């Protein structure tokens, strides 16, 4: 469609949702439950079609990874909202200062209205359904802009949503960057964006024109630290599981790892052995994911070329070929002690390349992490619980896992979100419900109260009373 036609369609969809919200601003639980149940059925009834579409977009995405990392968590978060949503809706009693008793106070969660969701390509289902569940549980309506880099999935989602939801409930808008720019310029009541930091800045600028609050999930360089004495046979499998899932195309993938200097070679050998055990056929293993497209593939190759030119030691983790250019498949690579000046140490890698850095003092590793832009996740491997707690206290990160990777993102009882360059805001479960609600404070004055004593004209005793009150 032409740009002006696309803008007109966006405006019409938004106006229809805004009007629908005006007519029914506080949907009851049966209405919200019905929407959540339809969303759950959409996922469960179309699993093979979802797998097929995502596999086509990636040019080779293991179906089991789509089940594990997309379909299962999408089902889980929806069922959590169905179980707890009615309770989240309840009015919440709030504390009243003793000076205002016997007045009462409460918090009333109210829907915000129309929420925009801009999803990305690496987990196109879960990164749509995750925030959408919270949006629907909170009683809102949603417009969704999936990524143009996942065209098969985006077309499927648009069709499936149109079959099960009215356009004034949920609408899917497909298109390229022009559509995305027009979408983020709409005066949403809240806007959720998942993607890269640079695009996140543009989204935030567009939202600022409408004073639209934003939730930004941006990623970053999530560090892994193996503390002295922690068994490599426990650390390496969890690190590689987090790094090789989706061929590293995960916003919370371990981006680089710190290892005690005297254990560096042991780590490299353990990583090579584990990678080959996970994918014994190397690049021919259909349980290993392709890089999504030629553009992302070329970016990863540039990182490796720059590292080679800088003389960085490279260790290929698979047997056999290390790349398949026509299929944009790249075998996992360890880069040993690359200098911080390289692009692979500045940019979020988003691929199967793992820089491994050696350290002599654990404090040096922590200082390095703190000197970097604040990441979305920290992975700390340590059986010394006080030391692990101290590490969490010393670092500023969006979330953390101790002795594992990725697992915090699938805990509906934990908020998920970034900090600083890795994003702002959070969602998941009750935290998402609150993010997409207006928690309206309500103060209910008692028939008998003392406030009239403090109204003009001010009598001398008012100063005396205030002095007494300030001392208590």
List residues with catalytic annotation: 217, 251
Give helix then strand counts, H and E, for the chain: 17, 18
User: By the 8 A CB rule, do 308 and 314 touch?
Assistant: yes
Six token digits for residue 166: 């009215």
- Alpha carbon separation from 440 to 84, 110, 112, 329, 435 (Å, rounded): 20, 7, 11, 51, 12
User: By the 8 A CB rule, do 119 and 63 touch?
Assistant: no
Which residues contact residue 357 at a Cβ distance below 8 angstroms, ignoring those fewer than 6 apart?
256, 257, 258, 259, 337, 338, 365, 368
Note the Cα 385 to chain centre separation in Å.
Answer: 27
Task: Please count the residues of the chain.
Answer: 472
Task: Report the side by side order of strands in the sheet with 437-444.
Answer: 92-94, 104-111, 437-444
- Bond prior to 80 in cis (omega within 30° of 0): no
User: By the 8 A CB rule, do 429 and 412 touch?
Assistant: yes
Contacts 24+ apart (CB under 8 A), 37-40: 37/82, 38/164, 38/165, 39/78, 39/129, 39/132, 39/133, 39/136, 39/164, 40/75, 40/78, 40/79, 40/82
Note the Cα 58 to chain centre separation in Å.
Answer: 20
Around Cβ 364, how many Cβ atoms within 10 Å? 13
Instruction: Indicate the burial class of 139 (C-beta count within 10 angstroms; 0-12, 13-18, 19 or more).
Output: buried
User: By the 8 A CB rule, do 194 and 251 touch?
Assistant: yes
Degrees to nearest 5, angle at CA 367 with 364 and 373: 140
Partners of 316 in the β-ladder:
333
């Amino acid at each position: 469609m032409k740009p002006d036609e696309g803008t007109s369609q966006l405006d019409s969809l938004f106006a229809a949702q805004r009007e629908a919200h005006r007519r029914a601003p506080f949907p009851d639980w049966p209405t919200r439950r019905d929407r959540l149940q339809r969303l759950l059925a959409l996922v469960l009834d179309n699993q093979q079609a979802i797998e097929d579409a995502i596999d086509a977009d990636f040019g080779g995405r293991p179906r089991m990874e789509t089940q594990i990392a997309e379909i299962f968590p999408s089902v889980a978060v929806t069922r959590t909202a169905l179980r707890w949503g009615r309770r989240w809706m309840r009015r919440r009693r709030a504390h009243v200062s003793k000076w205002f008793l016997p007045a009462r106070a409460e918090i009333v969660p109210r829907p915000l209205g129309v929420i925009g969701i801009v999803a990305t390509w690496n987990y196109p289902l879960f990164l749509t359904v995750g925030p959408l569940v919270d949006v629907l549980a909170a009683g809102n309506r949603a417009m969704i802009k999936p990524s143009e880099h996942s065209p098969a999935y985006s077309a499927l989602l648009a069709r499936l949503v149109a079959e099960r939801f009215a356009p004034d409930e949920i609408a899917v808008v497909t298109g390229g960057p022009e559509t995305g720019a027009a979408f983020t310029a709409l005066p949403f009541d809240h806007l959720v964006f998942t993607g890269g930091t640079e695009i996140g800045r543009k989204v935030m600028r567009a939202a600022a024109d409408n004073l639209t609050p934003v939730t930004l999930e941006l990623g970053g360089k999530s560090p892994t630290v193996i503390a002295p004495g922690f068994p490599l046979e426990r650390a390496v499998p969890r690190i590689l599981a987090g790094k090789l899932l989706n061929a590293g195309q995960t916003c919370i993938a371990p981006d680089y790892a710190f290892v005690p200097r005297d254990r560096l070679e042991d780590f490299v050998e353990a990583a090579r052995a584990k990678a080959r055990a996970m994918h014994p056929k190397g690049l021919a293993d259909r349980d290993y994911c392709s890089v999504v497209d030629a553009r992302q593939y070329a970016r990863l190759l540039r990182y490796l070329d720059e590292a080679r030119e800088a003389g960085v030691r490279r260790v290929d983790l698979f047997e056999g070929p290390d790349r398949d250019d026509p299929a944009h498949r790249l075998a996992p690579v360890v880069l040993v002690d690359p200098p911080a000046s390289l692009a692979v140490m500045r940019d979020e890698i988003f691929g199967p390349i793992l820089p491994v850095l050696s350290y002599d003092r654990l404090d040096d590793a922590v200082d390095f992490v703190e000197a970097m832009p604040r990441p979305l996740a920290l992975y700390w491997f340590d059986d010394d619980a006080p030391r692990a707690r101290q590490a969490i206290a010393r670092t500023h990160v969006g979330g953390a896992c101790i002795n594992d990777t990725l697992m915090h993102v699938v805990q509906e009882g934990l908020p998920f979100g970034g900090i600083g360059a890795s994003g702002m805001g959070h969602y998941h479960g009750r935290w998402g419900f609150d993010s997409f609600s207006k928690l309206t404070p309500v103060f209910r004055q008692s028939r008998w109260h003392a406030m009239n004593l403090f109204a003009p004209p001010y009598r001398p005793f008012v100063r005396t009373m205030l002095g007494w009150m300030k001392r208590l």
